[in-house]
Amino acid sequence: MNKRISLLRNWIFVCFVLLAFFASGIILCSAGIISNRDVLTDTGYIVIILICYFFTIADLIAVFRLFAERESLFRRQIWIKSIFDDDVRIWDNETFERKMSALMNKADDGRLEMNATIYIHGFNNQPITAFRQTDIYALNAIVLSSIEKVIKGKENWRYGINRENRFLFYAQVESEEVFYETLQSVIENVNAEIARRPSLPMIFAMIGVNIIKNDQSVYQAIDFANLAASFDAGMRLSGDIKLFNPHMLDTKDFEKEKSLEIDQALEKKQFLVYYQAKWSLHENRFYGAEALIRWRHPRRGYLPPSSFIPYAEASGKI
């Protein structure tokens, strides 16, 4: 939907420029005919013509830049799509969860099961989704190619990217140090590549790590890594690794994360309303309906009201 809206806006802009060009010509010709003057011999008309030509050329340059940017965006989309098609270890959020579910709690030789999230943001903790679309595609391409370069050939590693442009990892490793070193190598490659692209915005990459325990579900493991990645993100240095700790669930950062999820759910219309009829046994008739709300969460599926209504009420969202 966003791509369609963006395309529509671009075509509206192009049509507006063309209409402005033709309208300026018609107005000038009409003015010359009505005044019965030779337009080229009148200084005032020459000035008007020059001004119109100036703005017309500026508009045409803007149009060419627009199409150049769209072409660049299209090439990056194709490049990223080719990565997803060719490399079976890169998945979207849902596929990553299914693959991770199949591997969890099956580590051999006493290996540790760990998962992680790389959370990328700009200045003042601005999320990557707020960047220009072309910059988002470029940054995603850089991160994915860096991941592939570092992880290629490593056994028992899986990675993916979710809708919030967070990069997810799962691995069975000999020690925590091996896991940390691999993730830091990814960030070092990303930083080196971005340093060669000064046109891209400066980013900060935060890493959240979770050690998977037997009683953890896939959704909990991913949520814990997400929370650790964004925990105090505005006060951490790029490349910093933070291990999930249960006390994070009781902090304001967790509230911010939940608040952000609810805001995104409202924006993406993930809340569904069902109406349940109410029947009076005494009067033997319907006397109204009760609204039941379900949250179609992108990671956890359909959630009951008890999982989000109390927080929404306490935080003043409803």
* % the chain with pLDDT above 90: 8
pLDDT of residue 179: 93
Note the pTM of the prediction, 2 decimals: 0.54
Give one word for 259, left, alpha or beta, with left for phi > 0 and alpha for psi -120 to 50: alpha
Question: 258 lies in a domain?
Answer: no
| 161 membership: H or E segment, kind and range | strand 157-161
Give a yes or no: residue 256 inside a domain. no
State which of 85, 106, 129 marks the end of a domain: 85
pLDDT score, position 4 = 45
**Which range of residues forms the domain containing residue 8?**
2-85
Task: For 128-184, write each residue's pLDDT tens digit.
Answer: 777 888 888 888 888 888 988 898 878 778 888 877 778 889 888 888 999 999 999
Overall domain count for the chain: 3
State the DSSP code for 238: T
Give the pLDDT score at 280: 75
Q: How confident is the model at residue 185, as a pLDDT?
A: 92
In a domain, 111, yes or no: yes
Which of 50-59, 72-81, 155-164, 235-244 tops mean pLDDT?
235-244
Amino acid 96: pLDDT: 67
In the three-class reduction of DSSP (H, G, I as helix; E, B as strand; rest coil), residue 89 is classed as coil
Shared domain check, 63 and 16: yes
Task: Tell me if residue 243 falls in helix, strand or coil.
Answer: strand
The winner for highest mean pLDDT among 37-46, 75-84, 253-262 is: 253-262
Q: What is the CATH number of the domain that holds 224?
A: 3.30.70.270
Residues 277-313 pLDDT 10s: 777 777 788 778 877 788 877 666 667 777 677 777 7
User: Under a CB-based contact definition with an 8 Å cutoff, are residues 253 and 231 in contact?
Assistant: yes
Going by the DSSP 8-state scheme, the letter that residue 131 receives in this structure is S
Cα 266 → chain centroid: 16
Q: Mean per-residue pLDDT for 44-61?
A: 68
Residues pairing with 290 in the sheet:
276
Query: Residues 82-108: pLDDT tens digits?
Result: 333 334 344 455 666 676 776 676 666
